[in-house]
């Protein structure tokens, strides 16, 4: 029996860009390995700016797209290929999505409880109306709502924060073991974001659910995560315990992200985004961050950086942490 609950094994997603002539391959996700063990559940944040590959990775975990290479394994069973009907049903029970925009998750023509009862019947598998009602009521209470407040109402009768709570309640009905939340607070009023983020912590602790939290928002990631993976152009450039990474970043890109968050009134997306470089960077032979990195050396442009395992249990994709001596470094005495 596997000791891991979730394993992302050497996963890539390659797209073709351009027309028939001059087309090129672009690795939106480039040979990623990540795992969540069984036992104590974790919130693993995948953090990156637009174009980092974080949403593509989440979509592969949710089986919305297939990896070009590698596999995603849940409790020892690969979920990346074809699944039988029974396996698919089990997958949907164990892994539940929460999407970015709650107003797009529900049709404006249907009352939101329609989705809750469908989940209770089709995924949890309850037969009777009473059992479905109990499951829905329980899930709503677990996210701080009630059946009286929710049943019979349409999406436009809720605030964004409330509707996202209904989405979380729907996802929790089948007692999943993994929630994949893709930018779940980015469309919500800033004042209500922490309510949803706090809800994730409570669900992890009370219901032992693992959460893959996909975000570009470093501040909520810092607050909520046990583990953080920082993505850049399809690679995980730094991975490990969130407190260590965000207090003492080891990768120059993480350093840049934290530095830009610290500047009052400046969103880091505005600081680091260089669109003209974007497509070129995916195709770099060496480090994809080399054109922006203040520590770059000639080797960084010609050779893929090594994945370095540090004593404090992180992984960093960079030459800076190796014995490699920069050309202009003073010779050791
Ligand atoms: S490998 Fe080189 S260019 Fe890339 S982040 Fe490290 S020091 Fe900078």
Q: Residue 16 — very low, low, confident or very high, per pLDDT cuts 50/70/90?
A: confident
CATH number at residue 240: 3.40.50.300
Query: Which domain covers residue 156, as residue numbers?
Result: 4-317
Q: What is the pLDDT of residue 136?
A: 97
Atom of ligand 1 nearest to the CA of 253: 5
Q: Per the domain annotation, does 119 fall within a domain?
A: yes
For residue 57, is pLDDT > 90? yes
Q: Per the domain annotation, does 29 fall within a domain?
A: yes
Is there a contact between 226 and 44 (Cβ–Cβ < 8 Å)? yes
Testing ligand 1's pocket by substitution, the residue of 237, 305, 317 carrying the most ligand atoms inside 8 A of its CB is: 305
Separation of alpha carbons 235 and 287, rounded Å: 10
Q: What is the Å distance from ligand 1's center to 323 Cα? A: 13
Testing ligand 1's pocket by substitution, the residue of 277, 293, 321 carrying the most ligand atoms inside 8 A of its CB is: 293
Q: What is the Å distance from ligand 1's center to 287 Cα? A: 6
Is there a contact between 46 and 57 (Cβ–Cβ < 8 Å)? yes
Q: What is the pLDDT of residue 321?
A: 86
Atom of ligand 1 nearest to the CA of 251: 5
Atom of ligand 1 nearest to the CA of 288: 4
Q: How far is CA 121 from CA 60, 71, 118, 133, 141, in A?
A: 26, 30, 5, 10, 19
Average pLDDT, integer, range 40-65? 95
Q: Residue 56 — very low, low, confident or very high, per pLDDT cuts 50/70/90?
A: very high
88-92 contact pairs (CB < 8 A, 24+): 89/123, 91/63, 92/123, 92/174
Q: Residue 129 — very low, low, confident or very high, per pLDDT cuts 50/70/90?
A: very high
Separation of alpha carbons 190 and 186, rounded Å: 8
Q: Which residues contact 329 (CB under 8 A, 6 or more apart)?
A: none
Q: How far is CA 175 from CA 15, 36, 129, 191, in A?
A: 35, 18, 18, 29
Separation of alpha carbons 126 and 118, rounded Å: 10
Per-residue pLDDT of 212-256, as tens digits, reads 999 998 888 988 999 999 999 999 999 999 989 988 999 999 999
Beta-sheet pairing, 227-232 with 235-241: antiparallel
Q: What is the Å distance from ligand 1's center to 64 Cα? A: 33
Q: What is the pLDDT of residue 279?
A: 66
Q: What is the pLDDT of residue 331?
A: 41
Q: At what angle do helices 160-172 and 129-142 cross, to 10 degrees?
A: 130
Q: Per the domain annotation, does 51 fall within a domain?
A: yes
Q: Per the domain annotation, does 311 fall within a domain?
A: yes
Residue 260 vs residue 218, higher pLDDT: 218
Instruction: At 318, list the tokens.
Output: 């960079």
Q: Per the domain annotation, does 118 fall within a domain?
A: yes
Half-sphere exposure of 288 (CA within 13 A, CB side): 23
Q: What is the pLDDT of residue 188?
A: 82
Per-residue pLDDT of 103-122, as tens digits, reads 988 999 999 999 999 999 99
Domains identified in the chain, total number: 1
For residue 1, is pLDDT > 80? no
Separation of alpha carbons 272 and 293, rounded Å: 11
Q: What is the Å distance from ligand 1's center to 230 Cα? A: 14
Q: Per the domain annotation, does 160 fall within a domain?
A: yes
Q: Residue 153 — very low, low, confident or very high, per pLDDT cuts 50/70/90?
A: very high
Is there a contact between 280 and 224 (Cβ–Cβ < 8 Å)? no
Is there a contact between 292 and 276 (Cβ–Cβ < 8 Å)? no
Is there a contact between 71 and 298 (Cβ–Cβ < 8 Å)? no
Residue 263 vs residue 200, higher pLDDT: 200
Q: Per the domain annotation, does 31 fall within a domain?
A: yes
Half-sphere exposure of 126 (CA within 13 A, CB side): 18
Atom of ligand 1 nearest to the CA of 293: 8
Q: Per the domain annotation, does 330 fall within a domain?
A: no
Please give all residues whose beta carbon lies within 6 A of any atom in ligand 1, as ranges: 252, 287, 289-290, 293, 295-296, 300, 305, 318-320
Q: What is the Å distance from ligand 1's center to 324 Cα? A: 11
For residue 260, is pLDDT > 80? no
Mean pLDDT across the chain, nearest whole number? 88
Separation of alpha carbons 208 and 226, rounded Å: 14
């Amino acid at each position: 029996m596997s000791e891991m609950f979730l394993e992302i094994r050497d996963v890539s997603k390659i797209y073709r860009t351009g027309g028939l002539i001059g087309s090129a391959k672009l690795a939106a996700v480039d040979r990623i390995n990540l795992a969540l063990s069984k036992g104590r559940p974790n919130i693993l944040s995948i953090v990156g700016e637009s174009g980092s590959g974080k949403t593509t990775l989440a979509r592969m975990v949710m089986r919305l797209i297939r990896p070009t290479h590698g596999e995603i394994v849940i409790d020892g069973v690969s979920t990346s290929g074809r699944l039988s009907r029974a396996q698919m049903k089990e997958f949907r029970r164990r892994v539940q999505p929460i999407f970015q925009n709650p107003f797009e998750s529900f049709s404006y023509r249907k009352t939101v409880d329609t989705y809750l009862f469908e989940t209770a019947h089709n995924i949890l598998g309850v037969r009777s109306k009473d059992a479905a009602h109990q499951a829905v009521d329980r899930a709503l209470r677990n996210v701080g709502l009630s059946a009286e407040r929710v049943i019979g109402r349409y999406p436009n009768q809720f605030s964004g924060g409330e509707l996202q709570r209904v989405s979380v309640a729907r996802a929790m009905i089948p007692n999943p073991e993994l929630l994949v939340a893709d930018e779940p607070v980015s469309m919500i009023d800033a004042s209500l974001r922490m309510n949803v983020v706090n809800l994730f912590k409570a669900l992890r602790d009370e219901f032992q659910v693992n959460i893959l939290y996909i975000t570009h928002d470093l501040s909520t990631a810092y607050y909520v995560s046990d583990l953080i993976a920082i993505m850049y152009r399809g690679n995980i450039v730094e991975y490990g315990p969130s407190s260590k990474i965000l207090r003492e970043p080891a990768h120059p890109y993480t350093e840049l992200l934290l530095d830009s968050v610290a500047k009052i009134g400046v969103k880091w997306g505005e600081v680091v985004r260089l669109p003209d470089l974007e497509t070129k960077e995916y195709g770099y032979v060496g480090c994809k961050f080399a054109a922006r990195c203040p520590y770059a050396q000639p080797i960084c442009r010609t050779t893929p950086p090594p994945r370095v395992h540090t004593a404090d249990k992180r992984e960093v994709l960079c030459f800076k942490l190796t014995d490699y001596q920069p050309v202009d470094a003073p010779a050791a005495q």
